[in-house]
């Protein structure tokens, strides 16, 4: 995936002078980002070295689009384009999957069973149960904490109560994009 995206970006880099910045942004979003978005749930459990390679592809795409030099910091370019870092993309995708599992109909039972509300585990009234938090399984290893069910539930528990209480998908998408 990285070599395919780099090939696209290198060929686009050669012809970047013929396009405006807006057109370059659209081309990159159409030809590079689908490869990145396709396996975000799987890449959430990947090693940091693998995520770093994907982040380098995003950084190169931002440099091609904005024309920033290699020695300059990439954060201003990413901010001007509105492109998040790979960790943020993974977290948003995980939160979307949890929202769909908890609040939408037609979700497979196996997916819904990955997320247990605190109210189903304990009858005590706690802040976590009032907030709508999910039960986190005990994990001794950091590799186990990178599993989808754990990291998605932990991200859901980190949301403010007004965002986790939203009932429509469109409102939830816009709320987590503002985080």
Per DSSP, the chain holds a count of helices (H) and strands (E) of: 14, 0
62/179: higher pLDDT: 62
Residues 99 and 148 in one domain: yes
pTM of the model: 0.86
Domain end residue (candidates: 83, 113, 137): 83
DSSP string for 69-137: -TTS-SHHHHHHHTPPPHHHHHHHHHHHHHHHHHH-TT--HHHHTT--BHHHH--S--HHHHHTPBPPP
**Last-in-domain residue among 40, 65, 83:** 83
- Quick one: 79 and 111 in the same domain? no
Judge if 93 and 66 occupy the same domain.
no
From the list 55, 65, 63, 60, the residue with the least C-alpha distance to 27 is: 65
List, for residues 12-23, the tens digit of each pLDDT value. 999 999 999 999
- What's the average model confidence in pLDDT over 43-72? 91
Same domain flag for 74 and 152: no
Same domain, 79 and 95: no
**pLDDT tens digits for 66-119?**
999 989 999 999 999 999 999 999 999 999 999 999 998 888 989 899 998 887
Quickly list DSSP for 15-29: TGGGS-HHHHHHHHH
What contacts 155, CB < 8 A, 6 or more positions away?
Answer: 91, 94, 95, 98
Pair (133, 173) in one structural domain: yes
Pair (139, 77) in one structural domain: no
The mean pLDDT value for 130-154 works out to 85
pLDDT of residue 164 exceeding 90, the answer is: no
Q: What is the mean pLDDT of the chain?
A: 90
Whether the per-residue pLDDT at 126 is higher than 80: the answer is: no
Whether 129 shows a pLDDT value over 70: the answer reads: no
Residues 97 and 17 in one domain: no
What is the domain extent for residue 141? 89-177
Residue 16's φ and ψ, nearest 5 degrees, are -65, -25
Query: What's the confidence (pLDDT) of residue 43?
Result: 79
- Of 20, 52, 83, the residue at which a domain comes to its end is 83
pLDDT tier for residue 58 given thresholds of 50, 70 and 90: very high
> Do 133 and 150 reside in the same domain of the chain?
yes
pLDDT at 35: 92
The tally of domains found in the chain comes to 2
The Cβ-side half-sphere exposure at 35, using a 13 Å CA radius, reads: 17
Same domain membership, residue 145 and residue 75: no
Residues 22 and 98 occupy one common structural domain = no
């Amino acid at each position: 995936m990285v070599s395919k995206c780099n090939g696209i970006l290198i060929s686009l880099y050669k012809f970047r002078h013929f396009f405006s910045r807006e057109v370059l942004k659209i081309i990159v979003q159409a030809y590079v980002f689908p490869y990145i978005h396709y396996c975000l749930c799987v890449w959430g459990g990947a090693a940091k070295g693998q995520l770093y390679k994907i982040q380098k592809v995003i950084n190169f795409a931002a440099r091609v689009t904005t024309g920033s030099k290699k020695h300059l910091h990439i954060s201003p370019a990413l901010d001007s384009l509105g492109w998040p870092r790979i960790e943020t993309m993974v977290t948003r995708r995980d939160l979307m999957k949890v929202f769909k599992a908890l609040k939408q109909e037609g979700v497979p039972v196996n997916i819904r069973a990955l997320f247990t509300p605190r109210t189903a585990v304990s009858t005590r009234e706690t802040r976590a149960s009032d907030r709508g938090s999910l039960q986190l399984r005990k994990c001794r290893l950091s590799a186990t904490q990178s599993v989808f069910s754990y990291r998605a539930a932990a991200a859901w528990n980190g949301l403010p109560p007004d965002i986790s209480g939203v009932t429509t998908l469109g409102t939830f998408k816009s709320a987590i994009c503002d985080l």
